[in-house]
Amino acid sequence: MSAVRAIATQALRLWWREGRLPAVLLLVVLLGALSATLSIQRAAESERDRVAAEATDRETFASQGARNPHSVAHFSRFAFRPQAPLAALDPGIGPYAGVAIWMEAHYQDPANLRAAEDRVELGRLADLSPAWLLQVLVPLLIIALAFDALAGERERGTLPLLLGGGASARTLLLGKSLALALVFGVPLLLLALAQAPAAWGRADTAAELLLRLAAWVLGHALYLGAWIASALAVSLWMSRARTALVLLLAAWTMATLIAPRLAIGIAEAMAPVPTAGEFSSAVYRDLREGIDGHDPADARREAFKQQVLEEYGVERVEDLPVSFAGLALQEGERYGHIVFDRHFGALADAYRAQERWRRIGALAGPLPALQQVSMAAAGTDIAHHVDFMGQAEARRREIVGMLDEDLIRHGAGKDMAYLADESLWARVPEFVYALPRYAALATRQWLDWLLLAAWLLLAAWLASRAAMRTEAAR
């Protein structure tokens, strides 16, 4: 162990003398501090705005005065999504996923207010966040330090001396790995810990937050470990530092720049999401003509009327003891639920299928798997987005159902002329977003964890083979 420590110390000293370590540390500290501070600040501002808007909307809704319940169902409430607990660490799909849903009558709205729409488009290459820093830039910095860590020793002729002095190739590898792990592991931990105080209030329990933080750190540790092992394996395998550098840079370009975009392109082709126009046309067509295309809305309404008249034993709508308009609206909503479940269900399935297809990019490197793990831990992945849409829709149905029920009970003979008083609006339930338990979502991610671990093991195996080869060549 002392040999490993000594090699690590010597490597750190060498990198420091060469000026590479100070440059790398300066970059990591500067970008890390900047991204962490700004991300925390932005998340806090967004939360403040959301809480203020919710309070205003609550007040507006409660003070509408006497109105027809169906008019109020149209006005309804908005479901605002709170910031994900670790969104400042990894914004994930956040800027491209809506955070507000209008829970209006007759239609399930998609989530709107996407932050990316309010900023200038810069090619989506880099969004300065702790996750981007660790996932894209740090592997490059690992390469910059490690490419000649062993190939350089060989070129300088110091490798045989080191091996002859009693240190095995494996010890050399472990020593250099320890040095790199220290250089990049400490910033990883600091970045994660810096978020904890700000995120404290956004997770339901401390245990939930710690679990998410631990998963985030572990995922990144596996990822950076895979890069460290790969870089050292290549450095030990290659006879020239330059060749090692070229190979590693090609691998980095493929793994972090090309494969993720190609993979999402494949995912889009294999699991296409309809365009907005196609989606709403299909929804309205099903609402109008029936989900089988042979059950038009007018015929449905007429059949329903006959059914209601029969049920109440009367011949005319005017003789009903309840509001027929309310019953018809309730029936329309019931049919709408079938249509919305079908279309939004298919949409969520397509999102999830794209996530699965995107894993194809993990053949070129561990980034797609890590991004999945990181976004899930941060609460900024597709699963959290779909969950938010599901919770908002459930509350929409509750609110609209409650208002229609009031119209049915009290609007007999008056229908749309019936006015309910303000006490009803006060009884309308609030939307309170419940953050899904991480443990429940994480079980769906076993494949991503497996891919991450597989990449680490593969890299470690390559490094170990390179060490054996070096030992054999002594």
Nearer to another protein, 10 or 280 (CB): 280
Residues 55-74 that bind another protein (CB under 8 A): 56-57, 60-61, 63-65, 67, 71
E strand or H helix at 80, and its extent? strand 78-80
Query: Among 126, 207, 394, 426, which residue interacts with another protein (rule: CB under 8 A)?
Result: 126
At residue 371, the 3 state secondary structure works out as helix
Cβ–Cβ under 8 Å, residues 321 and 412: yes
Scanning 227-235, 259-267, 320-328, 455-463 for contacts with another protein by CB under 8 A, the matching segment is: 259-267
Residue among 31, 125, 294, 258 nearest 23 (CA) = 31
Residues 265-294 that bind another protein (CB under 8 A): 265, 267-268, 273-281
Q: How far is the CB of 42 from another protein (least distance, A)?
A: 9
10 touching another protein, by CB under 8 A: no
Residue among 119, 126, 138, 115 nearest 32 (CA) = 138
- Placement of tokens 């976004």 in the chain: 375
Helices and strands (DSSP H and E) totals, the chain: 19, 2
Q: Is 90 left (phi over 0), alpha (psi -120 to 50) or beta?
A: beta
Nearer to another protein, 385 or 396 (CB): 385
Q: How far is the CB of 71 from another protein (least distance, A)?
A: 7
Scanning 104-112, 156-164, 221-229, 431-439 for contacts with another protein by CB under 8 A, the matching segment is: 104-112
* Four-CA torsion 346, 348, 350, 353, nearest 10 degrees: -130
Cβ–Cβ under 8 Å, residues 141 and 43: no
432 touching another protein, by CB under 8 A: no
3 state SS for 254-274? HHHHHHHHHHHHHHHHHCCCC
Q: Which residues of 219-248 are buried (b: 16+ CB within 10 A; e: fewer)?
A: bbbbbbbbbbbbbbbbbbbbeebeebbebb
Interatomic CA distance for residues 67 and 263, integer angstroms: 52
First to last CA, the chain: 22
300 touching another protein, by CB under 8 A: no
Cβ–Cβ under 8 Å, residues 230 and 317: no
Phi then psi for residue 99, to 5 deg, are -125, 5
Nearer to another protein, 278 or 311 (CB): 278
Nearer to another protein, 212 or 343 (CB): 343
Query: Among 3, 10, 75, 342, which residue interacts with another protein (rule: CB under 8 A)?
Result: 75
Scanning 92-100, 211-219, 310-318, 398-406 for contacts with another protein by CB under 8 A, the matching segment is: 92-100
Q: How far is the CB of 254 from another protein (least distance, A)?
A: 10
414 touching another protein, by CB under 8 A: no
80 touching another protein, by CB under 8 A: yes
245 touching another protein, by CB under 8 A: yes
For the chain, how many residues are written?
474
Cβ–Cβ under 8 Å, residues 87 and 379: yes
Scanning 198-206, 260-268, 399-407, 447-455 for contacts with another protein by CB under 8 A, the matching segment is: 260-268
Query: Among 249, 308, 346, 447, which residue interacts with another protein (rule: CB under 8 A)?
Result: 249
242 touching another protein, by CB under 8 A: yes
Q: Which two tokens stand for residue 325?
A: 């308009």
Nearer to another protein, 97 or 339 (CB): 97
Cβ–Cβ under 8 Å, residues 429 and 396: no
Residues 341-360 that bind another protein (CB under 8 A): 347, 350-351, 354-355, 358
Residues 132-191 that bind another protein (CB under 8 A): 132, 136-137, 140, 144, 147-148
Nearer to another protein, 53 or 314 (CB): 53
Query: Among 113, 190, 322, 462, which residue interacts with another protein (rule: CB under 8 A)?
Result: 113
Q: How far is the CB of 302 from another protein (least distance, A)?
A: 15
Query: Among 38, 189, 426, 468, which residue interacts with another protein (rule: CB under 8 A)?
Result: 38
Residue among 31, 42, 246 nearest 135 (CA) = 31
Q: How far is the CB of 145 from another protein (least distance, A)?
A: 11
Residue span 200-239 as binding mask against another protein, x where in contact by CB under 8 A, dash where not? ----------------------------------------
Q: How far is the CB of 376 from another protein (least distance, A)?
A: 12
